[in-house]
Amino acid sequence: MLSWLTKKLKKELPFISSEIVINIMKSAADIELQSNNKNTQDRLISVKSIEEAVNKYLSGLS
């Protein structure tokens, strides 16, 4: 998943480092843990949480 996300983000943000991608994943995991969503037994981190983490990162750039 980390490899997929890195490739996907590098298409949009070629300057992004692997360290930033790892931090985004950590943020997505935190979002997932705080969501209290009980319908997540089929995954560790939802796409929604990843999108939210990426948006948080991007909003910090501006």
Average pLDDT value for residue range 37-44: 63
In the chain, count of helices (H) and strands (E)?
3, 0
Residue 6: inside a domain? no
Name which residue leads in pLDDT, 43 or 25: 25
Residue 4: inside a domain? no
Residue 51: inside a domain? yes
Residue 37: predicted pLDDT: 64
Please state, in angstroms and rounded to a whole number, the distance separating the CA atoms of residues 29 and 34. 9
Which helix (H) or strand (E) segment holds residue 31: the answer is helix 18-35
DSSP class of residue 23 equals: H
Domain that holds residue 31: 17-61
| Structure confidence at residue 12 as a pLDDT band (50, 70, 90) | confident
Residue 45: inside a domain? yes
Residue 1: inside a domain? no
Residue 18: predicted pLDDT: 85
Total number of domains in the chain: 1
